[in-house]
Structure 1
């Protein structure tokens, strides 16, 4: 590149949650590889978590904690230090009120030409446009999910929802043939708590989607054509550029909120090929102690080696520490429990046979990219539609079935793990989907071509 020409500078703005920061950080690395400068904007609490995790990961390695070419900055999220950010209704209310003004100020100080913004931060798009900054929107979930949001006015007209987003019908619907069915009570704004909170979430989601349609010069998503052919045919304005990942060696930091336990990679090295059950439920899912115990004992019951990610806040009750310590002693020769791990490296490892997952879209794409079959255990919102992709459309996994009391038993866990690992047809379909993803990302592939189009636009 001509050194006299300054690198084009873009601002990247994810929604403040792990499943949003990761793909936008991966996208940022790819932009840096194409000669861009990136200012990456997190809310203050997320910024602090990412910096701490980066420093801990870099400790003792002699390398810089900060990603090359990416400047990390922060804005307030409107909440005080001790406030509960899992209270989603209050969280989104404060985001809506507080963040756009701070982002507007940051844009005017940074003097960028483009805001590469998460669709879920669409509340900031108007401020960017007002300052003469163009918007490129990124949707970190499936094209089917975004397409469904585009259809909300029609779905209200068809009687599925009232004008505040509350379901009026219980039956599932298909936005189009070949797309996963959607349940009206499992929309992106469907959160637990008071009615007012769900109304706030509905307003946020629908306003953000409308802002993306109105202000974005391009909308890209972390998916690939062969994964969602029907969705991309029905919604041609959504361009797939995925599956996103930072680099071929999986070494570049992707904005983790917790320090990664890399010791699990050495443990995996000692396991036979396609033997390990990998279990991870993302950054948000919470299990009650009874369900936690059933899952633990189900993994033990398989008799297989397993790697299980148990976040410090994974249970919402009084799980007996003595019981868990005793469990870990019992499985010490077979199972490994970590608080967080480098998931992409784990899923790329030859030892992994099966992914027990909440089916968040990032995890889904990471599993798909590595040809790993799934045992699906969705927690909320779009994860149920992602389960449908995995189990019904791609046929690369099975789903757990809770009992009448809502609990997934240890026998169910163990039995379904065995079925997934033992199904050669499922394993072969997972490999074929992996190969399709690689082809889309390769030279001349649809994701590669769309990414080039995206980059060319950002250079304008």
Structure 2
């Protein structure tokens, strides 16, 4: 077994919030002696830069990570973010056959390797491709264990009349194993009535049906954050909390290029600001919003009088309009605000000048805020973000809610920001964030829970590969 050649084919979802942890999982597996073929969609490679190989530096350090691309059947210039539904209809229809072809060709080109498949849980096709090629099937969930457990028990939600949840209904869901009571208003958008016909709900239903055939499920969280949920899930299938992988020790973080946009450097501007005085504002890499939301938020920031860095990525408006801000906003914020199209979020959050984070509550952003000990103002927009807000505010207690209701009001925003950045409550929130940061650092130590779980996963994975190989050999005989 010691001389076996393990080769993981890894395929992430083509979105920044999934790519980041997947890249670090690839580094982690390679650091344990696995050969990795990391597969990007051609459209992602195109965004990174046509000559880009995100692992070239990691290879120079001795890690065996190969890089490949697969097309999704759409032209490179097609705007996949703006036309999300159309993109995912094509992905559901055409991508599985492309992956099947890629995997078959890879295995035929070098049959001496012991291959396995490591894919995003959002993909339903591994349940078909893995058994076809006798591959061990590893599913990687890049979000919280809570947002895995709810759709994992889809049948219980249906049985209790909570799938789909009526949009305005507020009832407690208290029957999901390992999950504390959660109100229907806090569940993910694709479980609600307004989202039931979307391609996301269709894809999720197929994916969570398929994941029940996975050999292993990895979670980009740590046991200390969601112990009951993770323990309950482990009773059904082998589940391992191995995160947050983005911060794993002794990996070549600086050697990996995985940002889909050019990053502005905010360091000089932040250097001119007092400690903990700046509010960092970002809605992440994928979510779209409306002109009304952006205008109310812009005026709210101005009225608050708080210094801020605001990330407004290209294409953030659901309408496709290029101009997201009120006319003259740039002139009004001189000295008080800095608006950038993208930045290195960890670098900004870890700057001493930053005191808070107004965020959509995406899981990567939540982990990064936690890692830097920065309290959050939560403004979830879609998908898993309302459930993440519940965890941040009620369970982990290092954030506050921006507003209630669907429409933002500039005066309400200003009061919330002023109270958050200057009130005595900020210190309490900061203390809770600091505790979480310490717990995260401990989990990632060599004897920490996430490191132990990853080592256990690797041992179990190798044993499973040997079992599959033996079974196949018996079947051939």
| TM-score bracket for the superposition, by shorter chain length | 0.7 to 0.9
Mapped pair 1:440 → 2:440:
no
Q: Which residue of 1 aligns with 2:356?
A: 354
Q: Is the 8 A contact 1:104 1:128 kept in 2?
A: no
Q: Which residue of 2 aligns with 1:204?
A: 203
SS at match of 1:9: strand
Q: Is the 8 A contact 1:275 1:353 kept in 2?
A: yes
Structure 2 CA distance for partners of 1:36 and 1:188, relative to 1, 3 Å: farther
Aligned residues: 443
Q: How many angstroms apart in 2 are the aligned matches of 1:204 and 1:322?
A: 30
Q: Which residue of 2 aligns with 1:299?
A: 301
Structure 2 CA distance for partners of 1:52 and 1:259, relative to 1, 3 Å: farther
Mapped pair 1:420 → 2:425:
no
Q: How many angstroms apart in 2 are the aligned matches of 1:7 and 1:346?
A: 41
Q: Deviations over 1:197-256 (max 9, x none)?
A: 43x533321221222221x22111111122112312322243211112156685243522
Aligned positions of 1:180-195 closer than 5 A: 181-183=182-184, 186-187=187-188, 189=190
The match for 1:390 among 367, 389, 392 is 392
Q: Is the 8 A contact 2:119 2:140 kept in 1?
A: yes
Between 1:242-251 and 1:227-236, the stretch displaced more is 242-251
Task: After TM superposition, give the deviation of residue 93 of structure 1 in Å.
Answer: 2.3
Between 1:328-337 and 1:444-453, the stretch displaced more is 328-337
Structure 2 CA distance for partners of 1:450 and 1:322, relative to 1, 3 Å: closer
SS at match of 2:286: coil
SS at match of 1:121: coil
Structure 2 CA distance for partners of 1:210 and 1:370, relative to 1, 3 Å: same
Q: How many angstroms apart in 1 are the aligned matches of 2:134 and 2:89?
A: 27
Task: After TM superposition, give the deviation of residue 285 of structure 1 in Å.
Answer: 2.2
Q: How many angstroms apart in 2 are the aligned matches of 1:401 and 1:294?
A: 12
Q: Which stretches in structure 2 are left out of the alignment for 5+ residues?
A: 108-113, 464-477
Q: Structure 1 length as normaliser, TM-score? A: 0.86
Task: After TM superposition, give the deviation of residue 291 of structure 1 in Å.
Answer: 1.9
Q: How many angstroms apart in 1 are the aligned matches of 2:263 and 2:352?
A: 20
Structure 2 CA distance for partners of 1:190 and 1:88, relative to 1, 3 Å: farther
Aligned positions of 1:223-372 closer than 5 A: 223-236=221-234, 237-245=238-246, 250-253=253-256, 255-261=258-264, 263-317=265-319, 324=326, 326-372=328-374
Q: Deviations over 1:57-77 (max 9, x none)?
A: 99xxxx969997433322222
Aligned positions of 1:18-57 closer than 5 A: 18-51=16-49
Q: Is the 8 A contact 2:42 2:76 kept in 1?
A: no
Mapped pair 1:430 → 2:433:
yes
Task: After TM superposition, give the deviation of residue 363 of structure 1 in Å.
Answer: 0.9
Q: Is the 8 A contact 2:186 2:390 kept in 1?
A: no
Q: Which residue of 2 aligns with 1:77?
A: 72
Q: How many angstroms apart in 2 are the aligned matches of 1:325 and 1:353?
A: 28
Task: After TM superposition, give the deviation of residue 126 of structure 1 in Å.
Answer: 1.9
SS at match of 2:374: coil
Structure 2 CA distance for partners of 1:451 and 1:106, relative to 1, 3 Å: same
Task: After TM superposition, give the deviation of residue 456 of structure 1 in Å.
Answer: 3.0
Structure 2 CA distance for partners of 1:190 and 1:235, relative to 1, 3 Å: closer
Q: Deviations over 1:107-131 (max 9, x none)?
A: 1222361111111113233212211
Q: Which stretches in structure 1 are left out of the alignment for 5+ residues?
A: none
Q: Is the 8 A contact 1:356 1:377 kept in 2?
A: yes
Task: After TM superposition, give the deviation of residue 192 of structure 1 in Å.
Answer: 9.9
Aligned-residue CA RMSD (Å): 3.2
Q: Structure 2 length as normaliser, TM-score? A: 0.83
Mapped pair 1:109 → 2:111:
no
Structure 2 CA distance for partners of 1:82 and 1:318, relative to 1, 3 Å: closer
Q: How many angstroms apart in 2 are the aligned matches of 1:271 and 1:168?
A: 43
Q: Is the 8 A contact 1:298 1:412 kept in 2?
A: yes
The match for 2:216 among 206, 215, 218 is 218
Mapped pair 1:13 → 2:11:
yes
